[in-house]
Structure 1
Amino acid sequence: MSEAPDSSDTVFDRLEKLLEFPCDFPLKVMGRRVDGFAQAISDLVREHAPDFDPATMVLKPSSQGAWLSLTVVVRIESRAQLEALYRAVAGHPMVRVVL
């Protein structure tokens, strides 16, 4: 009996077939609108993509103001870099959704 592949690996397999590296990759990150959220995500993104310019990050609060959506566009050099960035952002305790 074989194990089912990790669904995130399948997603990254598909992405790798669609993308040509290096490329500019948009990432949408959502979390509670709390002090430090945008800065924490910006710092985390820069760990994986040092050339990321935080001034390019787009912030959009929800209609009720409880949530904040951040859009970051990152220059990605490889699948490994994309996977590491996605997993780090998705694993951050302030993050609820990453698209």
Structure 2
Amino acid sequence: MSKQVTDINDVLEFPCRFPIKVMGESQPDFQLIMFEVVRVHAPDLAQTDITTRDSSSGKYVSLTITVTATSREHLDNIYRSLTSHVLVKWVL
């Protein structure tokens, strides 16, 4: 019988590089604002750690922000900041 994974700490070994997908309506400063939100928690974040993809309609933009996560709590703090931001629609 296989072990069921119930905790992110069972799968990840910290520190690790961890991609976070952030989606919102397309607007000129979305990437910069999200960069600043995440950088509060990850001061080593660089613009090159972010990739951007526009939706087919151009209404939405998806960012993949890859951070160096140091712990589960570190990731939780980043997720809380992103999900509570008014410009963010989804965080995965």
Counting only pairs closer than 5 Å after superposition, residues 6-45 of structure 1 correspond to structure 2 as 14-45=7-38
Distance of 1:25 and 1:79 partners within structure 2: 11
Tell me the alpha carbon deviations over residues 39-78 of structure 1, each in whole angstroms, 9 at most, x when there is no partner. Answer: 1100011100000111231010000000000001100111
Residue 85 of structure 2 corresponds to which residue in structure 1? 92
TM-score relative to the length of structure 2: 0.89
The total of aligned residue pairs comes to 87
Percent identity over the alignment is: 39
In structure 2, the gaps of 5 or more residues are 1-5
Tell me the alpha carbon deviations over residues 10-31 of structure 1, each in whole angstroms, 9 at most, x when there is no partner. Answer: xxx6212211100000000000
What is the CA distance between 1:79 and its match in structure 2? 1.1
Residue 4 of structure 1 corresponds to which residue in structure 2? none
TM-score relative to the length of structure 1: 0.83
Residue 3 of structure 2 corresponds to which residue in structure 1? none
> Comparing both structures, which one devotes a greater share of its residues to helix?
1
Match of 2:50 among 54, 57, 71: 57
Query: Equivalent residue of 2:36, what SS?
Result: helix
Structure 1 ranges of 4+ moved more than 2 A: none
